[in-house]
Copies of this chain bind each other. A is one copy, B any other.
Amino acid sequence: MKALIAEHPTSSERVRDALRAAHLYYMQDLTMEAIAAELHTSRSSVSRLISYAREAGLVEIQVKTPAERISNALQRVQEKYHVTLHVVPVPDSANEVDRLERVAMSAARILNPFFDSNMTMGIAWGSTISAVGRHLQPKVTHNSQIVQLNGAANTRTTGIVYASEIMSRFGNAYGAYVQQFPVPAFFDDPATKQVLWRERSIRRVLDIQKRMDVALFGLGTPLSDVPGHVYTSGYLDEQDFASLSASNVVGDVATVFYRADGSSADVPMNLRSSGPPLDQLARVSRRVCVVSGRSRLPALRGALAAHLITDLIIDEATVHGLLED
C-alpha cells in the first residue's frame, strides 16, 4: 500500500557501490573477496551487491551466435524472409509449458538490447507475451514508452486487469511510460470502430502505435488444439470462427488475421479488430515475434510470408518443424 519509491540516503549509494562492484567483478575479473577488501565490506555483501546490479539491469549479458554457426537451411530461411532467427535450445523431452517458459525467458533477454531510451515499444499482449513479461530483465531507460497494440475488452470482462498487468510489467522493467489502449479486442460492428477511431483520445494512441520503434508479438492460431488466449476467452463466437474459416485464415498478430500467403486484405473480421493493419506493422523497424510450439507453425509460415517479422525467437523443436515441409 505504501509507495516504495522513497529515497533513502542509502539507495543512491547502493547503486553506486553495486556499479563499482559489478565493474570490478565483470570488467576486471576480481573475486568477490578482493572486491570486499576494496569496498571495505564483507564478501557476502559484495555478493548481494552484484546480484542487485544484475537484477537492476546494470549488467547486460548477451550470448552471440556467429552467423556461420547457423545451418544452411536456416540461413536460407533468414534470407528469404529477411528475418534474424534466435533459436532457443530446449530439450526435446520438455513439455509445452516448460518450453514456453524457457522461450519466454530467453526472449526477455534477447529483447533487452533492442529497447532503449527515446524508443517506443508496441506490445501485442497475449499468452506468449504474458510469459515474456514475467521474465523481463530490468533496464534503465528515459523518455521511452510502451504502447498497447490490441484492445482487451470482451463480452465477459473489460480484460483491463489482465492486459494492464502485462503492460505494466514492461513499463516497470524499462522505466517506460505505459500507454493503454482501452478498446475491445473485437468490435461487434465495424462502424463502431470507425467512429471510435476518429476520437482524438484514440487517435493519439494510434499515432503512437504508428511511430513505434519495436513491436513485440506472439502469434494467434485459430486452428490449433491449443489455441491462443484470444480464442478461448470469449473474444470470438461460433459465427466469428466460421467467418475466419471462410477467409482461410491461418493466424493473427494483435487480433489482425492473415492467410497462408500472408495476405490480410478482405478478411471481414479485420474490420472489427482493434490491432494495427499488418501493412502498417510491417513498417516498424524492428518486429520481434516469439513462438513456441509446433501448433503455431501454420501461423508462423503465414507471418513470415507477410514479412511481419524481423526477429524471430523460437524454440529448437519448432524451428525444425519449420524446415520440414
Residues of A that sit less than 8 Å from B by CB: 15-16, 19-20, 22-24, 26-29, 38, 53, 57-67, 69, 88-89, 91, 102, 105-106, 109-110, 140, 142
Tell whether A105 pairs with B60 under 8 Å between CB atoms, given A66-B140, A69-B16, A88-B23: no
CB closest residue in chain B, given A93: B38
Q: Are B28 and A61 in contact (CB under 8 A)?
A: no
Contacts of A53 in B (CB 8 A): 63
Inter-chain CA distance A69–B20, complex, in Å, is 11
CB closest residue in chain B, given A38: B91
A139 to chain B, nearest CB (A): 8
Tell whether A59 pairs with B63 under 8 Å between CB atoms, given A24-B89, A102-B28: yes
Q: Are B63 and A23 in contact (CB under 8 A)?
A: yes
A113 to chain B, nearest CB (A): 9
Q: Are A62 and B63 in contact (CB under 8 A)?
A: no
Inter-chain CA distance A109–B28, complex, in Å, is 9
Q: Are B15 and A89 in contact (CB under 8 A)?
A: no
Inter-chain CA distance A63–B142, complex, in Å, is 18
Total identical chains: 2
CB closest residue in chain B, given A175: B66
Contacts of A140 in B (CB 8 A): 64, 66
Contacts of A64 in B (CB 8 A): 57-60, 140
CB within 8 A of A106: which of B19, B28, B58, B91?
B28
A28 to chain B, nearest CB (A): 5
Inter-chain CA distance A91–B26, complex, in Å, is 16
CB closest residue in chain B, given A101: B28
Most buried by B among A27, A53, A60, A88: A27
Q: Are B63 and A26 in contact (CB under 8 A)?
A: yes
Most buried by B among A23, A105, A110: A23
Q: A26-B61, A57-B64 are in contact. List 14 more A-B contacts (CB 8 A).
A: A19-B65, A19-B69, A27-B63, A27-B105, A27-B109, A28-B88, A29-B105, A58-B63, A58-B64, A59-B61, A60-B63, A61-B61, A61-B62, A67-B142
A262 to chain B, nearest CB (A): 30
Most buried by B among A19, A66, A88, A106: A66
